[in-house]
Structure 1
Amino acid sequence: MNTPIQPVILPQSIYDEIIAHARAGKPEEVCGVLRGRDSRAKELFRGRNIAEDKINNYTVDPQTLLRQFEFEDAGDAMMGIYHSHPVSVAYPSATDAWNAHYPDAYYLICSLEFDDAPVIRAFKMTPTFPDLDMEALRQALPFEEVRPGLFGLYVPAGGPIPEPLQSVVEDPSRAFYVVFNVNGAGKVDEHRIVFIEEHPVEVAG
C-alpha cells in the first residue's frame, strides 16, 4: 500500500506573506525559511537572495539558514524553504534541484507567472549520488545547459526512463532530474539525481 502524501499546512498569514514577499521582490527571485513541526508551518522568516543571478536563481543567505538551530533548540525545525518564480510556473527547475540540500525540508515555490493569480506549490526534493559514467551519459542523453557550467535532464513521473539510467532508477512513478556541473576544463565535476515529490498545500485559517 502506498504511503499517503502529507499535505503542507500554511496559516493564511504565512501564505499571504510568501505572496507579498514574491511581489515585492519581482523581477528578482526572493527566498526565506519556514519554522514549524512536521508539515505544519508556524512562522516565516524572510531571507536575502545572495545568488549572483537573482533574476533566474536563488541562494538563501547563511544567516537565515542558521536560524534552523534556534528552531531545533525550541523543539521545532526548518520545515520549509520557499522561493519565487517571478515569470515561470511553480515547479522546480534543474537549478532548484541542484540547490536542494535539505531533503527533510519542503520546498515551496510561489509563481507569479500570472500576477493576479499567484500559485504556491510544495515539493520534497531528494538528492542521490549514484556511481555513473557522466562523461558517457552526457554524450548519450540530451542534457541542457541551464546556466553556465550546469547541465540538467528532466524525466517526468510515469515517463520512460532512459536506458542508460535504468540501472539506477527503477521506479518510474517519481519525476527526477539528472544534474551535473563541469570544471574549468569542461569535465564533469559533480553530479546527482534529484527525485521530485509534490505535496498538496492546505491553507489554514
Structure 2
Amino acid sequence: MLGMTLALRLAQRGRQVTIWEGAAELGGLAAPWSLGEIVWDRHYHVTLASDSSLRGLLRELDLESELVWVTARTGFYAGGRLLSLSSVFDYAAFPLLSPLEKVRLAATIIRASRIGDARPLERVTAVEWLRRYSGRRTVERMWHPLLRAKLGANADRVSAAFIWAIIARMYAARRSGAKRELFGYVRGGYARILERLAAHLEERGVRAIV
C-alpha cells in the first residue's frame, strides 16, 4: 500500500509511473485474503485516531467519513482462560505477574513511548531489550508468547524497533485526546480501500504490472 500511495503522489506531480507488483494483486501486506465470496484482511489492520497520514489518504479517497469507530478491549489468553486487560483494575488483578513485575512492565511501555529516535533499537533484539527492562519472567510469560504469535520463527530475531513502533502508535492514539482506545475500520476492510486507491491510480494514468 505504501508503494501505491507513493505512485499516487508521483502521478499527482505529473510523473509517468509504473508499479511492478511481485504478488498476484496490488496492496502488499495490506492485500486481503479471499475464500469464494468471503474476503477478510490478511493481517491486523485498523485505523487509529492518531493515524493522520492514513486518515488523510482515506479522506482523499472519499472514505474517511465511512470509518466506523469501536472501543477496543484487550485480553491475554493463558492457562485456558481469557484474562481481561482493558482497564487499570484488570491490570492490577492480572494473575500472571507479581506486583513488581507489573510495575516493571508498565515502566517498559512508558519508556518505549518516550523514545524519539528508534534507530539504536535496530541493533538489539526485541527479546534482549524487553528482558533488560521488563525482566526475564515477564518476557517468558507475556512478551515472548505475543512475539511468537505475531512473528513465528522470527520472534527471537526481530529488533526492538518493532516493539517500539507498536507501543508508540498505541500511545499516540491515547495522546490524540480519546479517553479510551478506539479502533476504526472501513466497511469492506482494506480490500475496499485498495480497490478505491487502484481506481484513483488508473484515473491518473498509473500502470500496474502484477
For Structure 1 versus Structure 2, the TM-score category normalised by the shorter chain is under 0.3
Structure with greater helix share of residues: 2
How high is the TM-score relative to the length of structure 1?
0.25
Larger Rg: 2
